[in-house]
Structure 1
């Protein structure tokens, strides 16, 4: 069997590690940044363990400018400078590679690609199987019989067969296509208006770049002109994009061969960087104890070292064995399990189901764990001939334990499990810990708080993908068809990992008392409120939607005809490409962004042609019809005859709740059609009404609270219209009856301050010059200087701490706040201030929801909280109780958190959500 040689594009992997979305702001015990070095090292070790390469080398770019810059001085000239904290991490990565005895290759004036191209060709000639580890498309030109491109992240290999099947091109032809399309990141010109699809299509047809230019007269239209006008640019681009195979570097097989690491040196580096989780991965546990002992004996002057995560060294890593994963297939085994559970103070629980929609899902099984590497799976339904436990028997034996509030439960997205069990007649009480919510609180910027992502990040463990059991695509089956024996291992792993995540995250929260308080007193109680709202759902009047659908269809057709008549063209209006051709090529409208037809561009084009208004309205109607009007009825659960929306706690970085299936936030509130959609949300009982309770200008009131601005506080506490008040203060408007235009300006600047708008953004929203907008903002801050002082204090705090906090202690990291790049720093400053206000508004309405639900339960009111959207709570209650309920709800909401400013809640009720709002 040929030996395997893995060549890593070093800088590419370093950059992808640095900008990886999974983790942010990792640092060593001494404060040294470590994100790139940690992810790079973890990725490299994973590659070695999975692929067991015979030889391995890392290619790096030369520290001098590439020879390509001599050919074309603009080559890579526009690339931004390397992030300030990256050089230090590259140095650390090279130290780690040296300790692993993995060669780092650099050749003066050449790039890593050229080193890889040269070595891969030499290795291929000597019969080695060479895997180029890179996600860069340019590497595809290097593919040959024994040379493959390997994507480490996707664990996928591209070979000659892939290139032929997917691209219908040879490697050399792909190089020609690269020359045509150019590369904006590297400033390689290519041919204007020619993208990958066109470039590959031309090369497939003509065979090569040379043959294409021999037949360039056959290419018609604008692209044909570009092709003919850009022959020299295409020739230059091919020279720049071609990877050299004659770089002065030797194939030193013995030097590239993997050997034992320098474990002493590697242990020292890992200890300095806090990479203690990697000790077991590399087998350095003994070295860790030696270093700890040495550190203790070095005297009091030595700074104490800690792990990458707090107390991580005390946290036991995952074991490979699964011998303690057990299938509970008989009553006797279930009774034995229940006897053990009764003695536990807390256990992790997870459900397996037939659907990802909790209100439609059928219970397939329950898995439980309370000890690392030990878990039990109780199958309720299964494929094959294995024994299962009936739902009735599950209720009889396990029901009491699940209901017992004194035996605590932990789960991952446990709201889903509560609803699934509720649908099966089982009540899950005593839920005290949700790992998804805990992870979100600790780092709201994480791209994913899924169990798989957390297991990988926090436990250095790869979970079994569910596709291993149920398949993918058309052949996919539901979980109830999986044999119980196969399902048990997967389900037990879920419970086991959930319990481990509970232990780890609980430890981290305990080290941050404010966050733990927020978790226990706000987020976990809120989860239970949201669970009840999702179970309750809302009634939908489908006849209202059906009527709307007919009316909207007619309006869409009328608009379509009008657009065709005004443009003199029949085309697909929903196609951005076809629309841009009509607007910019036929009507010759100005290109504000390069041939873009997005909403912001159309807004600016509205004054240039009357068809733009029709296009905007057409788009809105098509979107609302497809997203809501035609879909809401189909989303109604046939069992409950109600729509069960999902409310999400862990999506937005500010702490705001979001909704999905459907996304209620996207129903426009200020348009006629948006209000009509709300008219379809109705009470389920004949004598019922929909009651709305909406905070009035809550973010501005929070701004007044935080800034302690005496004028704003007085205005709010006197129940004045704040926009009229500011208009009178800044623009001399009549306080009681201001001119609408002046009030609109004051409103724009009021909200613009919260969202961090500068003069340009404000000028665009008000249709005034930037200088006028700047004067307006300066005047605002001069009058309300305490607001400017507060904003600066938020920014200063973010610079010092690296994060901002909300009124109840929610934290959000602010990367870039100390950046030397002006744009990045400005964006971070806006985010810091906006998060403080919006996050505090989120805290407020969450606290209100919990207290309102507590009062509804305590007084046994005939009212149900069914929707939360923005600053509004929506209820279903009887008409007779509406006034009394509105008074109680508004009183609770106005006093949910004690503030310096008076909060105001507007209430209303009616036969549907539109009239209630």
Structure 2
């Protein structure tokens, strides 16, 4: 038996968008609706196993119904751009799945579905319709069932003839009569004012249809109801006509074209990777990627048993190989060295015991070309070998030339630059459980080939940097910064292990007390961490309204619980319980696991060539993400202490650096005035946007102004701002319009930078960091809109990142020049954290803000707030 599935594409897309929090991939493309839409498709395919399938979309805003009533759907708000941008990707998903989709000018998706459902049922096919719109219930027959999404997208309610009768007590045909009487505010169908669903159903059970009702109007009881019906007769008939699905639409697609076979796995996998749907990838990939075979040049390698001066020429391409998992253990696999004298593999033991090698490594005048200079500095540093004289870094140059490149690994760079062929590390070492170090001959070949590729690619990369006017950014900022970061990683941060253990104990006790409170409120003992048990308590025992169901029961995700906060005091306690639990498991226990066994410190890894904006990130552990909104989270910083005696933790934080950069770039007079006169910029914005005096600005006005200030430069939409502030989109749109009226220079900047990106294909920061935006001219609305937002934001966020990096380099230079024993510990967003000796405190109180505030000259002053204390917590 043929089974035909029809999906209301727009309805499911809307449901998915509003059911899931805004998500985006690393390119900034919003993906929440795409993800929800895709999971719905997968569920349909798995559960329904259709022989034929089609997804119908609305073709445009105007349909034949507007000829009857021009205000049809007139009160609908404009589709949020965050959703509009995702619709083209949904079509790409359908193409990859080999699922047909269709739209028809002047008709709605409902009409396409109704027409095809009728054709299929005439052929005696079983038809299943999926939508979030109960208008489609009028299509239900003995051959057609309709599944409506309820409270999200994963939970559906399926209607056959019996279910329609049980739910409404009417036939599917009478659904249009019901809509004719009660109207539909979502579609701006007027109906009869004052007649709701209950009254409409009561009338239809007695009079069967709108036509019969008006033929027997004199029999209707209730004077007021009769008057309303009499006065709105025309509206009732028009509303019924508007609600009627056209099942004879001119659909030019044959059912035979809608056969469903199976997805194109390679296309689906590629899309899922692009969209970063990691949880869905496993269904379409066995997780093993084939390694491309490459042709390797013959190479005459010398495996060194003694390092001699004649092989250590300048310049030399040097590879210090260390696997990520051994990064802070000094576990070097070996060294590759290539220069004009030959190709050498130096075993680790030979290198670290050689005075000749140590002298050469630490000689500033012996120039080294490397891949990931920081890694080399750290790896040799753990072996007490000081690495100096690094004059080129292939990874960093590749990153600066194009930060959007899919990979900056040496094999990929070599391939792009058409230089010496190198296998990927994965091809040599394997991955996952199969990861291992090969025998010396294979290892030697691999490391020396890497060094040869560095030597071969260096000149072309250098010329590219110069052509892009980026060589100063490379030579004066990123390269010296890699050495500073390497020393910071080596130094690490001292941690009070016992303090962490005590915090864990306290949080454990707190969790027990909270658990007891929750059990008392629930009136039953249960496992709070079990979604199944929690769902049963909340929705069966306490009878809270069910918002969403999953295959395994009730959804108890954070966003669902937040919607229930006003329903019962237990909800707030459960949310707090989860936050404390995460603090304990992720941060307390997580930090205890990464304390270095030898140094007893934490050595994070700073990723310098990762983000497209140029910002640093921190991993293993991520010290930039310790949650500080909760006091319990802030207290984790108590455990970060100075290593040296008579020292303090010193924090220096840039104040509103991105807004100051915006003032500089946009040259907006209002912003410049605010910063030059040291005004509260959020207060100033509130005064201008709300047209009030400083005395009249309320706390809520300032919070709104702050959200607008920070949101506007990221291309935030009225929808995005409305979600941030919990206001209507209309109010949010007014705020944005008022903001641009108050700060016209900002509006001019945003418009001009988008045009500049469109013309050049990229935007730059103040220090010439580039971000390429090929999507800026895309016909795909989604990609183009993202590129426009990125064009607005990158010069601001990227310039702020450049300023902080420059401050770190200059701080390192000044501290070395003055022979200070204080040292940099961390870079966390707009903040630098240092360990400062008390004897140097007065010097550093002057030096740190001075260096940071003069790192780059802006037309508005940079401002730095400093604080210090016995721990990182006390420094804030």
| Structure 2 equivalent of residue 259 of structure 1 | none
User: Conserved in 2, the CA contact under 8 Å of 1:455 and 1:462?
Assistant: yes
Q: 1:683 to 1:442 in 2, by over 3 A?
A: same
Distance apart, 1:894 and its partner CA:
0.7
Shift in alpha-carbon separation, 1:600–1:399, aligned structure 2, 3 A: same
- Helix, strand or coil at the partner of 1:630: helix
**Does 2:334 match 1:365?**
yes
Residues 556-598 of structure 1: CA distance to partner in whole angstroms, max 9, x if unpaired? Answer: 3344455566567877655678767877787433349998765
Q: Which residue of 2 aligns with 1:543?
A: 498
- Give per-residue Cα distances to partners, 1:854-901, cap 9 Å, x unaligned: 111111122101100110001001123223302211011111111100
Contact 2:330/2:380 (8 A) holds in 1:
no
1:328 is matched with 304
Aligned residue among 292, 300, 316 for 1:347:
316
Alignment of 1:241 onto 2:198: no
2:851 maps to 892
SS of the residue aligned with 1:719?
A: coil
Is the CA contact 1:22–1:446 (under 8 Å) kept in the aligned structure 2?
A: no
- Which of the residues 75, 80, 85 maps onto 2:54? 75
CA distance, structure 2, for counterparts of residue 406 and residue 75 of structure 1? 69
Q: Is residue 346 of structure 2 the alignment partner of residue 378 of structure 1?
A: yes
Does the 8 Å CA contact 2:627/2:634 hold for their aligned counterparts? yes
Shift of 1:684: 0.8
Show the 5 A alignment for 1:60-99: 75=54, 77=56
CA offsets 1:23-51 (integer angstroms, 9 cap, x no match): 99xxxxxxxxxxxxxxxxxxxxxxxxxxx
Alignment of 1:75-154 (within 5 A): 75=54, 77=56
C-alpha separation between the residues in 1 aligned to 2:695 and 2:677? Answer: 13
Match of 2:593 in 1: 634
Checking the alignment, whether the CA contact within 8 Å between 1:438 and 1:509 is kept in structure 2 is yes
Q: Which stretches in structure 1 are left out of the alignment for 5+ residues? A: 1-20, 25-69, 82-133, 139-187, 194-221, 231-235, 245-280, 283-317, 382-388
CA positional deviation for 1:657: 0.7
Alignment deviations for residues 351-393 of structure 1 (CA, whole Å, 9 cap, x no partner): 2347634331223421112369x63101135xxxxxxx2632x
Partner of 1:522: 477
Question: Which of 522, 528, 532 is residue 487 of structure 2 equivalent to?
Answer: 532
Distance 2:59 2:304 in 1: 58
Between 747-756 and 898-907, report the one with greater CA deviation: 747-756
- Distance between the aligned counterparts of 1:786 and 1:592, measured in 2? 49
1:590 aligns with 2:547: yes
Q: In the aligned structure 2, how far is the partner of 1:437 from the partner of 1:678?
A: 32
Listed one character per residue, the Cα deviations across residues 457-479 of structure 1 (whole Å, up to 9, x for unaligned) are 443887445566666655755x4
Secondary structure at 1:627 match in 2: helix
Distance 1:785 1:239, change over 3 A: closer
CA distance in 1, matches of 2:378, 2:348: 17
Give the total of aligned pairs.
Answer: 626
SS in 1 for 2:775: coil
Task: Map 1:689-768 onto structure 2 (within 5 A).
Answer: 689-732=648-691, 735=694, 738-768=697-727
Give CA-to-partner distance per residue, 1:45-72, whole Å, 9 cap, x none.
xxxxxxxxxxxxxxxxxxxxxxxxx996
Counterpart contact for 1:510–1:516, Cα < 8 Å? yes
Separation in structure 2 between the aligned mates of residue 471 and residue 625 of structure 1, nearest angstrom = 34
Q: Structure 1: how far apart are the matches of 2:258 and 2:632?
A: 56
> Given the superposition, is the C-alpha separation of residues 339 and 752 from structure 1 closer, same or farther in structure 2, using an over 3 Å criterion?
same
Counterparts in 2 of 1:733 and 1:135: CA distance versus 1, 3 Å: closer
Matched residues in 1 for 2:432 and 2:669: separation?
62
- Please state how far the C-alpha of 1:845 moved relative to its aligned partner: 0.6
1:409-448 alignment to 2 at 5 Å?
409-448=368-407
**Two-structure CA RMSD over aligned residues (Å):** 4.0
Say if 1:411 and 1:570 are closer, same or farther in 2 by CA, change over 3 A.
farther
Q: Who is 1:488 aligned against?
A: 444
In 2, Cα distance between equivalents of 1:71 and 1:476: 43
**1:708/1:584 CA distance change after superposition, 3 Å:** farther
Mapped contact 1:355–1:362 kept (Cα < 8 A): no
- 5+ long unaligned stretches in structure 2: 1-24, 29-49, 61-94, 100-125, 132-153, 163-254, 264-291
Deviation at 1:634, TM superposition (A): 2.7
> In the aligned structure 1, how far is the partner of 2:390 from the partner of 2:364?
8
Output the TM-score relative to the length of structure 2. 0.65
CA distance in 2, matches of 1:552, 1:876: 28
1:610-689 alignment runs, 5 A limit:
610-689=569-648
Q: Secondary structure at the match of 1:632?
A: helix
Once residues 80 and 326 of structure 1 are traced to their aligned partners in structure 2, the CA distance between those partners, rounded to angstroms, is 68
**Does the aligned pair in 2 maintain the 1:326–1:492 contact within 8 Å?**
no
Question: What is the match of residue 463 of structure 2?
Answer: 507
Corresponding residue of 1:391: 352
Name the CA shift for 1:461/1:368 in 2 (closer, same or farther; >3 Å).
closer
Work out whether residues 23 and 446 of structure 1, in 8 Å CA contact, stay in contact via their aligned partners in 2.
Answer: no
Q: Distance in 2 between the 1:798 and 1:463 partners?
A: 35
Distance 1:848 1:696, change over 3 A: same
For 1:430 and 1:897, locate their aligned partners in 2 and report how far apart those are by CA, in whole Å.
Answer: 26
Give the C-alpha shift of residue 759 in structure 1: 1.6
Note closer, same or farther for the CA distance 1:752–1:597 as it changes in structure 2 (3 Å cut). farther
Give the deviation of 1:726 after TM superposition: 1.9
1:856 aligns with 2:827: no
Q: For residue 498 of structure 1, what is the aligned residue in structure 2? A: 454
Asked whether the equivalents of residues 682 and 912 of structure 1 are also in contact (C-alpha less than 8 Å), the reply is yes
**How much does 1:902 deviate?**
0.9
